[in-house]
Structure 1
Amino acid sequence: MARGKDKGLKSTVALVPCSSYDPERVYQALKQGLSLIGGIEKYVCREEKVLLKMNLVREADAERAVTTHPVVVEMLARILAEEHYIDVSAGDSGGFGSSVRSMERLGMREELTKYGCRMAPFDEAVRTEYPQGIHAKEFMLARDVTEADALISVCKMKTHALEHITGAVKNQYGCVQGKHKAAGHTRYPSAESMARMIVDLNLLVRPRLYVMDGIVAMEGNGPTSGDPVPMNVLLLSTDPVALDSVFARLVYLDPEAVPTEVAGAQMGLGTWREDDIDLVTPDGPLSMLSAVKKYGKPDFRVNRKKGKAEGIMNTVTFLRFLKPAPRIDADKCRRCGVCVESCPVEGKALRFSKGRDHPPVYNYRKCIRCFCCQEMCPHKAIYVRGRR
C-alpha cells in the first residue's frame, strides 16, 4: 500500500519547455523531463503492468484542451516501448460516455497500437477497501486500475469550478469507475470533503509518476467549457501536491486556495511549500520566482478566492444560497439533457420543468454545488457564478 511523502525530503518537480504538440518535440521534451528525475526505470520495472492514466473527462476534440492531449500519452507509450516495457495500457473513467470512444475520437487507436499500448475501457468496477483512509475507507475502482502494477498519471493543466484547478491530485478521481463517480459527489459534496477523499484515493492507488500536459492549458470555465491558452510547459514529479503547486504559482494562484493542495499537505501526500520543492529544468535548477517570471501567466483566468470555512458553510443554512451556483446560458443551451443526466442528486436538482423547448431549470434547494452539470455540458452553456 502506498504511503505519503517522507518528512524531511524535498520534492523534485521537472519543468520542461515545450511550445507545440509536434510529436517529435513532445517526445524529446518528455525524454528530457524523465532524465531530470532519474529516468523511467527508476520508478517502473519492465516486467510490470503499466497503466497510463490520462484525463478523459468527456469526449472532445484535442484542440479544446478538455483532455490530456493524445500526443503526450502516445509519446510516453513510445518511450516505454523503446525501453522494452511490454505490458502497457492507457485509459480513464470519464464522467460521461465511453472512454474508448473518447480515445478513438482523439485518433489514439492507431498510434497506441503502433507502440504496443492497449486502450483500457475502465468499464468494470471493483469494490476496494482502504481501512487506512483518513476520510474515505472504500472505493469502487475500475478493474483496469486494480489490475495494474504501476500507474503513471498523465494529467491536464486546467481550471475547475469546485477545486479551482484540476491537475495531478484531482486526476486520480478517474480511477473510480464511471457510474460510481456521481455517488462520490453526493457523499462528499463540498470542495474540502471532496479534496480529502481524493487525497485518500491518491494514497491508495499512488501513481509512481505524475506528468502534466501544460503545453496548452484550459482557463476560465473549466474543466470542460473553458478556453485553451498556451502555457508551453510539461511538468513531471513523483509528488502530485508539489507539481500542482508549481502549476498554481505559474498562474498566480496561491496554493493554499486550492483544497486538494491543503488536504494533500495535511494528509501526507506531498508538499506545496516553496522551500520544500526543488525545481529543475534542462538548463539547470530554477528558483520558483524565476520560473514564474519566465513561464507564468498573471492574467490566467482562474478563481483565486479562498473558500469559506467548511463548517460555517455547512451549518448556517442561509449561507448555502450565497455559495457559487451553476447557471445556464439559454442562448448556448441545446436542450441535449446531458446536464440533467449528469446530476448526481436523487430526484435531480435540475429538470426540463418547462418542457424540452426550454433549458432545464434548477432547484437550488436541492443543488449541492458539485458542478457535475457544468463539467459535463458539451456546449459550454453552463457557468458558475456567485449568487446575490
Structure 2
Amino acid sequence: MSQYLEKCFSGAKINSLELRNRIIKAATFEGMSANGAPKPSLGAFHSRLAEGGIGMTTLAYCGAESNGRVMDSMLYMDEQIKPQLQQIISDVHSHGAKVSGQLSHCGNFSKNKEFKGRRPLGPSFGINSVGIASGMPFAGALTIPEIKERVKTFARAALFMKNTGFDAIEIHFGHGYGISQFISPRTNKRKDEYGGSLENRMRFALEVLAAVRAAVGDDFPIIGKISMMDGVGDGIKIDDAVEIAKMLDKGGIDGIITSGGTSSMNPMLMFRGDTLLNGMIEQETNPIMKFGLKLVGPKLFRQYPYEDTYFLPQAQRIRDAVDCAVVYIGGCSSNADIERVMGAGFDFIQLGRSLIHDPDFVKHAMADANYKNGCSHCNKCATLIEHPDGIRCVEVA
C-alpha cells in the first residue's frame, strides 16, 4: 500500500476527535425521516456505513429549528427526538465510527408546510422557487433582530447536538441554503452591515460560527461545508471562496469541506454525471411542480460530464490558503483518486454516492490497492430523497 493510502486509512484527529481513518460519509440527505423524526431506516443506513469501515458518518440536514427545514419531513434539533438520535449514535459507535451532524437552515428556500400563510425568511426579499407549488412563492427579509435571534438558534441547536452525543458538527455554509444565501451576492441584496462587501456578507456566517463555538467549547470539532462557486454569473466565484475560507479559518473552524454548486440554482455542478431531472420528474407527486420541472428543468439542470476528482484544482487553492484541516469532496471513487487527493495535502475525504453504492468501500479499498468503486454516477440515488423508503443505489440489488 502506498504512503498516501496508508495515510488515508490510518487514524487521524480533527480537534480533539480521533477517527480511525480519514474517510467521512458526506451529508447526502437520506429521506429517512418523517415529521421531523428519524425513521428506523435512518439508523440502519448509518450503522451499515459504520460497519463498512468509515471513520465518521454525517446525518444530513439537521435543521437548526422547525422553520429551518426545506421539507417538513426533515429532522430538526429538538428534545422530542433526542432518544432516537442517541440510539443512532450508539449503534454507529458500536461499529467503531463517529457521528457528525450537518447543522443547517433553509433560509428563504422551503416548502415546509409550517410556513403556510407566511414567508420563509432569508437575507432579502425574493422568489421561493421550491415553495411556489405549496402556496409560498415569495421569501421575506430578516430584520437585524431576527438575524441575531437566528444566530442564537444555531447555538442552541449546536449545544443540543453536543449534549445528545454527536461527535462533531458540520455547519452548512454552502449549496444555496440559509447561511449561503447571506454569503452569495446572488441572493443577498441587503444595504446594511449584512450586505454589500464580502466582509459584510460573511458577517452572519462568522457570527454563527462564533456562537456555535461558544456553545460547544474549544475542544469540540466544528467543520463547515462551503461552495467554492455557485455556478451562476452573479454568484460566488473561486476567488471569493478563498477569502471565505480564510475568514472561517481565522474564525476558529476546525475543517473546511470544499464543495460547489447550489441546490436551487445549479445543482449539477456539485453532482456531475447523469442529470437529476428525469428522476426528479418521475418522483414528483405535485402536478404543478412536475410541470415546472419539465418547463424550466433543462435550464436548471445543466450538463457537467463526470470526471475523477473534479473539484481538485479549486480545492487546492483552499488547501494552500488555510491552516485548518481541509476535507476534499467531489469525484473520489477509487484508490487512485484517494492517492491523488492525499498526495495534494488534503486531510480528509468525504464520499457520498460511492458509499451509497458500496458501503464496504473502506474495507474493499484497504484489501485491494487497485480498488475502483462501481458507481456509474447515474445520480438516481439523489432523486429518491422524497421516496417513502429514502435514498438507495438503484444499481445494487
Normalised by the length of structure 2, the TM-score is: 0.34
Larger relative strand fraction: 1
Q: Which protein has the bigger helix share?
A: 2
Higher relative contact order (CA 8 A, sep 6+): 1
TM-score by length of 1: 0.35
